[in-house]
Amino acid sequence: MKKKTLLRTNILVSLLMVLMLTACGTTISSYDQQAYTQTTSLKVDALNLMDSAGDNYERQVAAVQNLQINLQKAYEYEKNRPKNDVTVRLWDKLLDKNGHLLGGFIERWKAEKRLGSTFISNCKDQVGEAFNMISGLESKKIKR
């Protein structure tokens, strides 16, 4: 439970630092329905796939690759929106293969072949929260 709280705190602190660093002189992009829809849809896909991590990774390779392609498409879309640095940094954290969110989860699953249910559940909470931060930020942007 301490790890979960610590990671959630780290995510929140990272988000606040990103917001503070970019608040001076940089404006943020406006709301984009497609970005919001992609993010919420990918959250569902990612969490559903994470449920499969108790199964052998080799059986899920196609599903993992499909999710990674869709995540990359969303990431590229976000990267090419003007004034969207804050959102891109959140995506960077989510997708980091050396991190403790979705990218790191997939790498660990690949290395260990299957993961335990408690680990999966804890990671799903953290990944879900990361997606919530991204979609929450998008939903609070100015709608034009």
What number of residues does the chain have? 144
Closest CA to 132 of 47, 34, 23, 20: 47
Residue 14 near residue 93 (C-beta atoms within 8 A): yes
pLDDT score at 20: 57
The per-residue pLDDT for 27 is 75
pLDDT along the chain (144 residues), means of 10: 68 62 66 97 98 98 98 98 96 98 98 98 98 97 90
- The answer to whether 137 and 129 have CB atoms below 8 angstroms apart is no
Domain ranges for the chain: 2-22+29-140
Residue 16 has what pLDDT? 63
CA 50 to chain CA centroid, nearest Å? 13
